[in-house]
């Protein structure tokens, strides 16, 4: 026994508690070693291609694709459970939608795949702009306006094209709303309104998903 103020005697043994780092996590049941998982996660965070991970980590392509999909699912779950806060008083948030599979594609059973539309918002107060993107079944006001309401702060100024679903943003969401007619100009010559920040992200997002071997149809981006 060691009393307060007494020095420990030689027969007092130090107790060390050890715990395996992957215990209780998804690593515990994975057939991939922890070292390879950590290396793959690092490469994924650097947006490396699947075939790069296959070569550098020395695991199969199918396994890497499954790992990438799992990491995307984890990030999507985190995003869905984290309040989105874009814009603010006087801050411009640009909105737009984009079709992610322009060409008709068929699955293995010969059925035509459905179109994948993505709705996006870009907070231009950051350089580069911070974006939020979400897969949508429809592009009508009933679908898009609730996403805008969820994602932006009061007082935000919305820039968009003249898609009909946006026409009631000001009346229903009480947000200032300015538009640009893309059939005439990319930037409105009088007001300076444009949506170039959000549009520039579409090509980046498409390339990233191509590198990552696609994205599941229920994910937030």
Q: Are residues 163 and 102 in the same domain?
A: yes
Q: Is the peptide bond before 81 cis (omega within 30 degrees of 0)?
A: no
Structure tokens at 119: 């709705």
Question: Please, are residues 211 and 50 in contact by the beta-carbon 8 Å criterion?
Answer: yes
Main-chain phi, psi angles of 65, to 5 degrees: -60, -40
**Placement of tokens 């068929």 in the chain:** 106
What pTM, to 2 d.p., does this model score? 0.68
Q: Are residues 58 and 128 in the same domain?
A: no
Q: Which domain holds residue 59?
A: 34-81
Does a structural domain hold residue 11? no
Q: Is the dihedral of CA 221, 119, 195, 177 positive or negative?
A: negative
Question: Please, are residues 69 and 87 in contact by the beta-carbon 8 Å criterion?
Answer: no
Does a structural domain hold residue 56? yes
**Placement of tokens 């000001």 in the chain:** 170
Does a structural domain hold residue 218? no
pLDDT of residue 219: 46
Q: How many CB atoms lie within 10 A of CB 221?
A: 20
How many Å from the N-terminal Cα to the C-terminal Cα in the chain?
59
Residue 171: which CATH number?
3.30.420.10
- pLDDT above 70 as % of the chain: 78
- pLDDT above 90 as % of the chain: 55
Say how many domains are in the chain: 2
Does a structural domain hold residue 13? no
Does a structural domain hold residue 15? no
Q: Are residues 159 and 76 in the same domain?
A: no
Question: Please, are residues 134 and 149 in contact by the beta-carbon 8 Å criterion?
Answer: no
pLDDT of residue 115: 80
Q: Are residues 160 and 208 in the same domain?
A: yes
């Amino acid at each position: 026994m060691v009393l307060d103020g007494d020095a420990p005697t030689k027969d007092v043994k130090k107790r060390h508690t050890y715990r395996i780092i992957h215990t209780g996590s998804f690593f515990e049941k994975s057939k991939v070693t922890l070292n390879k998982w950590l290396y793959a996660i690092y490469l994924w965070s650097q947006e490396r291609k699947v075939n790069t991970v296959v070569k550098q980590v020395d695991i199969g392509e199918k396994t890497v694709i499954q790992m990438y999909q799992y990491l995307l699912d984890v990030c999507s779950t985190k995003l869905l459970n984290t309040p989105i806060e874009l814009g603010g008083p006087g801050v411009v948030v640009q909105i737009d939608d984009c079709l992610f599979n322009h060409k008709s594609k068929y699955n293995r059973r010969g059925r035509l795949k459905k179109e994948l539309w993505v709705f996006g918002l870009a907070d231009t107060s950051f350089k580069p702009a911070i974006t939020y993107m979400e897969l949508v079944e429809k592009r009508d006001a009933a679908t898009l306006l609730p996403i805008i309401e969820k994602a932006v702060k009061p007082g935000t100024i919305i820039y968009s094209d003249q898609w009909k679903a946006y026409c009631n943003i000001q009346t229903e969401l009480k947000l200032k709303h300015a538009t640009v007619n893309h059939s005439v100009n990319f930037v409105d010559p009088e007001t300076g309104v444009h949506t170039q920040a959000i549009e520039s992200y579409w090509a980046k997002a498409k390339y990233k998903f191509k590198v990552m071997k696609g994205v599941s149809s229920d994910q937030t981006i």
